[in-house]
Amino acid sequence: MDLNDSPEQAQYRAKVRSWLQEHRSEAPVFSGQDEQESIAARREWQGTLAEAGLAGVTWPVELGGQGLGAVEQVIVNQEIARAGVPGILDVIGVGMLGPTLIAHGTDEQKHRYLGPMLHADEVWCQLFSEPAAGSDLAAVQARAVLQEDGGWRLSGQKVWTTNAHFASFGLLLARTDPSVPKHKGLTMFIVPMDGEGVTVRPLRKLSGEPDFNEVFFDDVALDADAVCGPVGGGWGTAMTTLMFERLTIGLGSEAMGYRAERFAQAIAADAHARRDPEVRRRLGEVSLELLAVKFSGYRTLSALQQGQIPGPESGLAKITTVRAAIEAGDLIADVLGPEALEADSEWSHMISYLPGLKSAGGTEEILRNTIGERVLGLPPEPRLDKGIAFSELRAAERAAVAAAKSGSRS
Ligand SMILES: Cc1cc2nc3c(=O)[nH]c(=O)nc-3n(C[C@H](O)[C@H](O)[C@H](O)COP(=O)(O)OP(=O)(O)OC[C@H]3O[C@@H](n4cnc5c(N)ncnc54)[C@H](O)[C@@H]3O)c2cc1C
């Protein structure tokens, strides 16, 4: 997004650029060191960025942030990408979970957790997805049961938990009342990852990164003040996180390197591809999509600057960016051949990482459904779970299937 900076924004950009130029030699360089070393180096770098005011740009000043707008956050993302240095380590914490704590946490929670999160002294993970609750997040089965002393006991399993293996805390969605419809009986908790009964098992991605995990909770004791937001209001708290998740992916796409000029440069370096009309057509389509994302990004930024919260249309930026970048990766692989997938290729990570991003932060099908229903006003998907207590859902589903079968026989 090459913004038309206002004089103040141009000044801010110049300040960020000059700081990055001066400090880029302190940034970690990745050259095959082990994972622990790499995490330690990135923690330290996030601390340095935070000290310079380049992390938590939109967080309130009294909570350690800079109190600036989304435009300044995009400027920081762009300048970090331009300087060729890594961004912050804890994107999930600072970009999504911190803003959730700011919106729903108590003053004690904000003051206890936000500072160490910003400086990566304590990294956070998002404990939402479960084996049977991904797209249908409100189906979570992890149970937290209230104790007589006001504390809670937590049992269940989470999956696809990025960074859980080095996180200090997680924000976890659990069912606290199965006797009400599924969106209503949920509560959000702050869970210490070193608590007794918490087990983290790593899962490795196609792209080779070991940053996924499954996490098991076996009768874990939580204090009363572990609740974040209202008891029974966990769905609303989770929606805040998911809104920031889509925004972080949408507005951060350029910093991830999904830029039409970058793809065009790689293709133009190949004399044959440069003249091939089919390659030019495919590159044109990718560039067009990324241009559309850029202009809808401007619209989102204007809305944010005016204090509006982006609606379901923000899912469009995520779908379009990811689709265009996957198509660009396919095109580059077609042009460069197998060398695009070699370990030291500039493209191999992007090509193997992006299919996963289609699911992270809401799958394409689910976002399309949301946009169809809530932006375009199309008829909603049929729902079997409306108004039914979570504990009765299985029986209601079985009855609906039996009724459909007998209807199809008669
Ligand atoms: C890189 C990555 C990082 C992640 N990090 C985290 C994390 O840190 N914390 C966390 O909690 N989760 C994380 N996730 C999980 C992510 O949120 C889920 O993968 C996502 O919500 C989809 O859920 P699922 O994988 O269970 O797929 P499912 O919900 O089982 O969906 C499977 C397929 O069915 C389709 N489908 C499902 N329902 C419908 C419907 N009603 N209509 C049409 N199609 C449908 C989906 O679109 C999808 O194609 C991560 C995922 C990835 C890939």
Task: List per-block mean pLDDT (blocks of 10 residues) for the chain, which spans 410 residues.
Answer: 77 97 91 80 97 96 94 91 92 96 98 98 98 94 98 98 97 97 96 98 77 95 98 96 80 70 89 93 94 83 77 82 92 92 85 86 89 92 85 83 74
Q: Which residues line ligand 1 (CB under 6 A)?
A: 92, 125-129, 134-135, 160-162, 356-357, 359-360, 363, 365-366, 369, 381
Cα 373 to ligand 1 centre (Å): 19
| Three-state DSSP class for residue 125 | strand
Ligand 1 atom having least distance to the Cα of 365 = 47
Ligand 1 atom having least distance to the Cα of 128 = 11
Tokens describing residue 314 = 């923000």
Catalytic residues: 245
Mutate to test the pocket of ligand 1, among 91, 96, 135 (most ligand atoms within 8 A of CB): 135
What is the distance between the alpha carbons of residues 402 and 309, in angstroms, rounded to a whole number? 43
CATH number of 124-236, picked from 2.50.20.10, 2.40.110.10, 3.40.309.10, 2.40.50.100: 2.40.110.10
Cα 162 to ligand 1 centre (Å): 13
Closest CA to 215 of 136, 160, 141: 160
Query: Which residues have C-beta within 8 Å of that of residue 15, sequence separation ≥ 6?
Result: none
The C-alpha angle with vertex 85 and arms to 6 and 3, in degrees rounded to 5, equals 20
Ligand 1 atom having least distance to the Cα of 132 = 26
Cα 226 to ligand 1 centre (Å): 26
Ligand 1 atom having least distance to the Cα of 164 = 8
Q: Alpha carbon of 100 to those of 129, 219, 293, 391: distances in Å?
A: 17, 26, 25, 28
Cβ neighbours around 329 below 10 Å, total: 24
Closest CA to 71 of 158, 148, 6: 6
The dihedral built from the CA positions of residue 172, 177, 178 and 183, taken in this order, carries a sign that is negative
CATH code at 257-374: 1.20.140.10
Give pLDDT, residue 1: 46
What is the distance between the alpha carbons of residues 272 and 405, in angstroms, rounded to a whole number? 58
Give pLDDT, residue 2: 54
Closest CA to 128 of 228, 206, 54: 228
Asked if 159 contacts 195 with a C-beta cutoff of 8 angstroms, the reply is no
Mutate to test the pocket of ligand 1, among 161, 363, 371, 384 (most ligand atoms within 8 A of CB): 363
Cα 359 to ligand 1 centre (Å): 5
Closest CA to 362 of 407, 310, 312: 312
Domain definitions of the chain by residue range: 7-89, 124-236, 257-374
Asked if 84 contacts 30 with a C-beta cutoff of 8 angstroms, the reply is no
The fold for domain 7-89 equals Butyryl-Coa Dehydrogenase, subunit A; domain 1 (1.10.540)
Residue located nearest, by CA, to atom 27 of ligand 1: 134
Cα 115 to ligand 1 centre (Å): 31
Cα 365 to ligand 1 centre (Å): 10
Residue located nearest, by CA, to atom 4 of ligand 1: 360
Give pLDDT, residue 318: 83
What is the distance between the alpha carbons of residues 280 and 287, in angstroms, rounded to a whole number? 10
